[in-house]
Amino acid sequence: MVERVNTTAAPPLLRLDSITKSFGPVRALRGVSLDIRAGQVLALIGENGAGKSTLMKVLSGAHRPDSGSVEMGGQPLTLANPLAARRAGIAMIYQELTLAPDLTVEENMTLGLEQARFGFLRSQSEKIAAALKLLGAEDISPDQKVQTLTIARQQVVEIARAIVSDARVVIMDEPTSSLSGEDKRALFRVINKLREEGLAIVYISHFLDEIDEIADRYAVLRDGESVGAGLVSESTTESLVELMIGRAIDDMYPRPDHDLGEVVLSVNEVHGSPLPRGVSFDLQRGEILGIFGLVGAGRTELARCLFGLDPVSRGRIELHGNTRMKLAGFRPINALRGGLDYLSEDRKEEGLAQNLSITENTTLSAIRKTSRYGFLQLRKEQATAEELSRKLDVRCSSTSQPVSSLSGGNQQKVALARMIHHDSDIFFMDEPTRGIDVGSKHEIYELIHSLAAAGKSIIVVSSYLPELLGTCHSIAVMHRGALSEKRDVAGLTEHDIMVFATTGKTMPLERESDLV
Amino acid sequence: MPKLPTAHSNWKSLLLPFIGLLFVFILFTVLIAIFEPDNLEAFLSSRNAKTVITQTVIVGIGALGMTMVITSGGIDLSAGSQIALASVACALTLNAFSGGDPATISVLGMLVATLAAMTAGAATGAFNGTVSCALKIPPFIVTLGTMMIARGAAEGIAKQSQVRTPDNTLQNFMQRNPDPEWLIFAPGVWIMILLLVVVAVTMRYTVFGRYIYALGSNESTARLCGVPVTRTRIIIYTLCGLLMGISGAMSYAFLGSGDPTTAVAKELDIIAAVVIGGGSLSGGKGSPIGSIAGALIMTLLVSGCGMLNVPDWSQKIIIGFIIIGAVAVDTLKNRRQIAS
């Protein structure tokens, strides 16, 4: 497909050596070393939370490393701030595009670059046109407003901006996550052009099939450390996945050992806009179903669609055999009445009303239980909140404390207390243990189990695979908006799931079962 | 575990606005004693106390409605225009009920006139809430538009002049010395106190009140918890309008006529009262009793400055600094709470 340059002998353009970075007690980078070479594409891979984003922030000057060194062309380089990184010729193409939609292509490209150099705005259209031509995008006019371009074309503008600013290293963070197949091809052609021009490209992606296609070399991060690097041509999907995972599940996960009941929720071909794409599954009473997927695969969107927070474009759900559930105009209030409840992945912005008290947050979704004729029964309300806080071990001095004064783990327990108080039958838990300490994590796993044992059905959405393998009965994987068939966790390995999540290729077990 | 009521309404925070009121009162007593000792007696007289309290009624009742709106994370800039519209509606209805010669107005007429004022306010408020929710336009913009619309409507139905009415009992509602005398304060003051109790109980002890705080604290959370967001917001703006309507009827009583040009920029005094009383423009915080204290502080400032013979322009500067100062104290207090 692509002719691969094999000049490992040439010295690297940009060299990172033993970079470390901590945020408080969290060691995000524990010693990362990378060689980035001119005229090559380096794929940087790793699970969510492996340290890729932190590393890129170090390279773009947004974070200063605690220790370690950076060399550009053999000279030491200090990346004190984003401007220093840009001056050194390092350009970032973020996952979320950073163009100003109301400005023209030219204005966007020269933003913050040229004004300083001339004092007056001078047209750079020739240079810009040349850059766009180089990328095979002559059809984009420098005078066009950016908002008239598709996402894919906007991305090309971002890359052209890197060329105009004389970048030598271009870092792309998950560039294909919002692109269709055809746009992806076009992006790869652009990347090949950059490679021919002798630029060094760092390509961050979860998708191993893409890496096979576009990258020359790879580097794998795991838990903030470099754990492997080499030529893509000498690697296999299997060997890369092994490098990415490389750890064993410990004993922190209680195993579920109760029997499952009848089907309580049946989801048929549910489509969102644009994600998810045609998702179907059944959920049994007492079941803990894990939904795994990488960032952008559509797992959160699926849960939000089913809870009425995101619009559903088509599809059907059956709740307790009720076939006449309408998803059009479905709102959280309907979902709650139907016995569904949702734990938001974003405690701060959505999950909890931060400046209201523990009590007020706990009772909000089932306020009828502590009120009569529209009047609150404050004593009963407080007693309820105190009892639940004790049960879930929420560490607080009083339940009238605002939620914002609690730690992440305790806040999550308040959100869980609210679900328990509302007492739905089916819980969607989106990243229930994100950003909380190990001790609270364990408590939350135990809680999930006791709920399931009491006959609740729970869908755990997570991007942390060991947690799902440890706590769930069954797992289904999302890949680009589609959900795989759910499989019993007993027959699964991290490896199988990761292969599916990164490539969309069927899990091996599924193939066997198809034959049966 | 100490048994405290919920965070936004414990005793200390209830009394705090009155500590501010007391502070302003003592400050002016001292200043007047030093600089204008001749006026001290007048400032401390019961007559002056009655004047200050009576003059607080229009802003005070408006502030009760605004407290609900601001606590829910909204704003209502049309308050002043709603008061004017309601005062005109009140006067016109009274005229419609006047009969005989000399013209007299029955109790029924006065009741219907007050209801007309409330309806005018509530309708405007319902419009604010519905348009803002249905078209997803920020309330700042919608109520800015309504500020013009309601003012224009008031001037239109009043034919661009004051609406005079035959003498009637309603006009006595804002008299400093009420008749009968045992009332001590004007009936308007008692109406304000009654409304304060109703709004305070609603916000503190009802599900609807809890929804107001939840919406203002985090609308996403409220939606997630099944709070009927749109319906609650429309009701909040309608109730706010209703209270502006009552305030408009009091404005009629105060002036003795319906005036389409009254209460211009009154919404700013009302918002200031709510903010001085501990309300937060970012929502989730607000106290009806605090807002009334805030309104009293504003009137007391005007009265005190008058006694000090401070010219009008410097009164404005002082009031401006007080507003900023009150919020600064509140912010600092919160920061210290978070730190501890």
What's the rounded Cα separation, in Å, for the pair B338 and B336?
5
Cβ contacts (< 8 Å) between B227 and chain A: which residues?
333, 364
Q: Judge residue B217's burial from the number of C-beta atoms within 10 Å of its C-beta, 0-12 exposed, 13-18 middle, 19 or more buried.
A: buried
Mutate to test the interface with A, among B133, B210, B221 (most CBs of A within 10 A): B221
Distance between CA atoms of B115 and B86, rounded to whole angstroms? 10
pLDDT given for residue A410 in this prediction: 87
Q: In CATH terms, are A14-245 and A263-339+424-515 the same topology?
A: yes
CA distance B135 to chain A (A): 17
Interchain contact, A353 vs B214, CB within 8 Å: yes
What pLDDT is stored for residue A507 in this prediction?
A: 54
The minimum CA-CA distance between B319 and chain A, rounded to whole Å, is 29
Q: Tell me the shortest Cα–Cα distance from A94 to chain B, in angstroms.
A: 27
Half-sphere exposure at residue B197, Cβ-oriented, CA atoms within 13 angstroms: 5
Return the DSSP state at A402.
Answer: B
DSSP character string of A174-197:
STTTT--HHHHHHHHHHHHHHHHT
A333 inside 8 A of chain B by CB? yes
Res. B8 pLDDT band, cuts 50 70 90: very low
For A356-375, the pLDDT digits (tens) are: 999 999 999 999 999 999 99
Cβ atoms of A285 and A260 closer than 8 Å: yes
Closest by alpha carbon to A95, among A182, A180, A176?
A176
8 Å CB contact of B223 and A332: yes
Q: What are the chain B neighbours of A353 within 8 Å (beta carbons)?
A: 213-214, 217-218, 221-222, 284
Fold classification of A14-245 is Rossmann fold (3.40.50)
Closest residue on chain A to B3 (Cα): A398
Cis amide leading into B102 (omega within 30): yes
Instruction: Name the CATH superfamily for A263-339+424-515.
Output: P-loop containing nucleotide triphosphate hydrolases (3.40.50.300)
Residue A380 sits at the chain B interface (C-beta within 8 Å): no
pLDDT of residue B13: 63
How much is the ipTM here? Answer: 0.85
Q: What is the tens place of the pLDDT at every residue in A304-331?
A: 999 999 888 888 888 887 777 777 778 8
Sign of the Cα torsion A367, A371, A375, A379 reads negative
The domain spans of chain A are: 14-245, 263-339+424-515, 350-422
Portion 272-291 of B in contact with A at CB < 8 A? 284-285
Please give the interface size between A and B, counted as residue pairs whose CB atoms are below 8 Å apart: 102
| pLDDT of A9 | 54
Rounded (10°) angle between helices B207-217 and B46-71: 70
Closest B-chain CA to A395:
B1
Q: How confident is the model over B174-197, as a mean pLDDT?
A: 91
Domains of chain B: 18-24+39-330 (1.10.3470)
Cβ separation of B226 and A333 shorter than 8 Å? yes
More confident residue, B46 or A1: B46
Q: Distance between CA atoms of A51 and A27, rounded to whole angstroms? A: 9
pLDDT at B66 over 90: yes
Average pLDDT, chain B: 90
A129 is written with which tokens?
């046109």
Q: CB–CB of B38/B250 below 8 Å?
A: no
Determine the residue of chain B that is closest to A402 in CA distance: B7
Kindly report, residue by residue over B224-258, the tens digit of the pLDDT.
999 999 999 999 999 999 999 999 999 999 999 99
pLDDT at A512 (0 to 100) = 40
- pLDDT-flagged residues of chain A (< 70): 1-10, 24-26, 48-49, 95-96, 112-123, 178, 247-252, 254-256, 437-439, 506-516
- pLDDT at residue B49 is higher than 80: yes
pLDDT at A249: 43
Q: Is pLDDT of B153 > 60?
A: yes
Asked if A377 reaches chain B (Cβ–Cβ under 8 Å), the answer is no
Q: Residue B6 pLDDT > 50, yes or no?
A: no
